[in-house]
Amino acid sequence: MAEDGRVRMKCNPFTNIKEPECLLKWQLLRLDMMTRAYMTTIAEYKKIAPLQEKLYRHMSREVDEMDEADRWKYGGDDEAGGGPDDEPDEEKPLGDRL
């Protein structure tokens, strides 16, 4: 290990393998680097999770308001429905909402 806490290798598996375990050590080093990068990514996601949740709620509210404003286009003044021209709920267009 170096002074900064990072692992360093004395062998290079691509040019000079001086010991049989050099390739195995290199694979473990790469795995360690990938794990650290993944943990950093998870930490960043945890930081922005409240903002994402707030943004999702806001966008969901906006889409609901647009659907409410466009309800007249689909003939849905009454919530009960049941008329011959009314479409079933699962067939109403929802656009890009997921």
Per-block mean pLDDT, blocks of 10 residues, the chain (98 long) = 67 71 84 94 95 95 92 68 52 56
Residue 92 resides in a domain: no
Signed CA dihedral, 47, 52, 57, 62: sign only = positive
Quick check: is 84 in a domain?
Answer: no
* Total domains present in the chain: 1
Write down the H helix ranges in the chain. Answer: 22-69
The pair of three-digit structure tokens given for residue 15, joined into one six-digit string:
């040019």
- Measured between alpha carbons, how far is 59 from 21 in angstroms, rounded to an integer? 54
Domain coverage including residue 54: 10-70
Asked, for residue 91, whether it belongs to a domain, the answer is no
| 96: in domain | no
- pTM for this entry: 0.48
The pLDDT of residue 15? 74
Flag whether 58 is in a domain: yes
Q: Does 35 map to a domain?
A: yes
